[in-house]
Amino acid sequence: MGEDGSTLRPSGIASGGNTSEGERVPGLLRLFTGEAPLAQALPLSGEALELGRGALLGEVQDPRMSRRHARVHFDGRHFHATDLGSQNGTFVDGEQIPANTPREVRRVLRMGDSLFVPSPDVAPLQKRGVTLVDGFVRGPVLQQLLAEVTRAAKLGFSLHIHGESGAGKEGVARTFHQHGPQSEGPFVAVNCATIPQGLAERLLFGARRGAYSGADDAEGYLQTAHGGTLFLDEVVELELAVQAKLLRALETREVLPLGALKAKKVEILVCSASNKDLRALVSSGKLREDLYFRIGRPQVTLPPLRQRPEELPLLLQRAVQQISPQLGLHVTLVEACLLRPWPGNVRELLVEARTAAQAALMHGATRVEARHLSQSAGTAFGPAAVAPAPSSEERRAPREETSRAKPVAPEEKARIEEALRQNGGNVAATARALGMHRTQLRRLLERHAISASAGGDSDEG
């Protein structure tokens, strides 16, 4: 696995020398300056940090910051910022604050062209930075999770990945495969939620010619994954009878295709994923307990993008540059994105960033600004019915994020209907255009009582 050139090396300032290994170091993460993503940890030495152009910012200075710009104070739970009479102002969660009046910072602080995110522990960023490996952006949380995944893979275990839709579970599964004992073999990804009912057995286990009228010899996903890794996304969407057959195949390492008399040997590693809590699904009878014991552990939880802000600027930069390598990022775009909850996670962010880049080009801009981002980007689809409840660690919602708690928004419905119309009623294409998974879109269609049949409901494409 190659590491791409643009890794953001960790940088920081001394933390006062009093912290020991494992101790949490509250402070600020400086994630963006000028036009570039950054990975700079600024630990609070004592209770407060005074920020301004000068020594504290290290090598990467910001000419638009005043020499004494703002003070940030941590009271043990919350961060507060006070503007010290700066020339260009201090913005807390998107709003300019008056000078000499402390304001709680929930998510992001803007000074000059720099963005700072408060964090109860800046040590992970200081140690690990943000890396780019095979096009996959990895912040400190993801790096730690992948280290765990790699250990499970090397031991030849199964792995279950829990996380919201679009958070990057497939990328994690690929890392699992690449570090496993069968990395030379195929990686076969199957989204169980999109397998039409009644076809699951044939698609998973294959069929022999004549098994049913018109049946030809066909390999199933399990045979295709022989010698490699089978990634079962949304595994709980399989019917119980199919779950039983899957378990049998995994236990006996043999597959019996439909209509076949003789079983075929298969050697596969299994990685599964779900955005739901598997234990709860076992309790409610939707997942077989014995299958849970076979594939549900060990489990890793991939946090949603809103809990991994370190990755966001680099993800944005890459998405924008796919549209045009000449386009830069404006600080207001990154700030707006850091303020939104992104219920569709990385998938949604990438789609919206590309759309914003196109809008910027249409306006003849050289940098993508917040005004090029669609208003509903990153906000409209929450709280996703499928999203796990926010953990106690989850940062408190800033002003923009309150839209997540609102009941179904009418503009959400209008946006889905418009996207469906533009895509001729094709659910798969519409989901792609909206930056979400088909399953997520289907749930929203149900929630809003929208029929996809207007333009022909098809999953093709």
Residues at the interface with ligand ATP (CB under 6 A): 136-137, 163, 165-171, 233, 275, 311, 315, 346-347, 350, 437
Backbone φ, ψ for residue 235 (5° rounding) = -60, -30
Residues 235, 273 contacting (CB under 8 angstroms):
yes
Cβ nearer to ligand ATP, comparing 243 with 439: 439
Minimum CB separation of residue 426 from ligand ATP in Å reads 18
Give whichever of 52 and 168 is closer to ligand ATP, judged by the CB atom: 168
DSSP codes joined into one string, 285-343: TSS-HHHHHHHS-SEEEE--GGG-GGGHHHHHHHHHHHH-TT-EE-HHHHHHHHHS--T
What is the closest distance, in whole angstroms, from the C-beta atom of residue 347 to ligand ATP in the complex? 4
Least Å distance, CB 143 to ligand ATP, is 11
Q: Residue 304 — φ and ψ, nearest 5°?
A: -65, 165
Nearer to ligand ATP, 305 or 452 (CB): 305
Minimum Å gap between C-beta 419 and ligand ATP is 17
Residue nearest to ligand ATP (CB): 168
**Shortest CB 116 distance to ligand ATP, Å:** 22
Helices (H), 155-297: 169-178, 200-205, 221-224, 240-252, 278-283, 289-295
Q: Which residue has the tokens 């301004």?
A: 52
Between 28 and 441, CB nearer to ligand ATP: 441
> Toward ligand ATP, which CB reaches closer, 42 or 431?
431
How near is the Cβ of 193 to ligand ATP at its closest, in Å? Answer: 8
The three-class DSSP label of residue 3 is strand
Choose among 98, 338, 43: nearest CA to 90.
98
Of the pair 26, 166, the CB lying nearest ligand ATP is at 166
The CB-of-325 to ligand ATP minimum distance in angstroms stands at 17
Q: Which CB sits closer to ligand ATP, 322 or 374?
A: 322
Q: Least CB distance from residue 28 to ligand ATP, whole Å?
A: 23
Return the ∠ at Cα 215 (arms to 211 and 219), rounded to 5°.
90
Total H helices, total E strands in the chain: 14, 22
Residue 184, Cβ neighbours under 10 Å: how many? 8
DSSP 219: -
Nearer CB in complex with ligand ATP: 174/245: 174
Between 169 and 415, whose beta carbon lies closer to ligand ATP?
169
Strand bridging mode 328-329 / 367-368 = parallel
Residue in 104, 130, 179, 166 with CA at minimum distance from that of residue 8: 130
The distance of closest approach from Cβ of residue 264 to ligand ATP in the complex, given in angstroms and rounded to an integer, is 28
- Give the integer Cα–Cα distance in Å for 152 and 133: 20
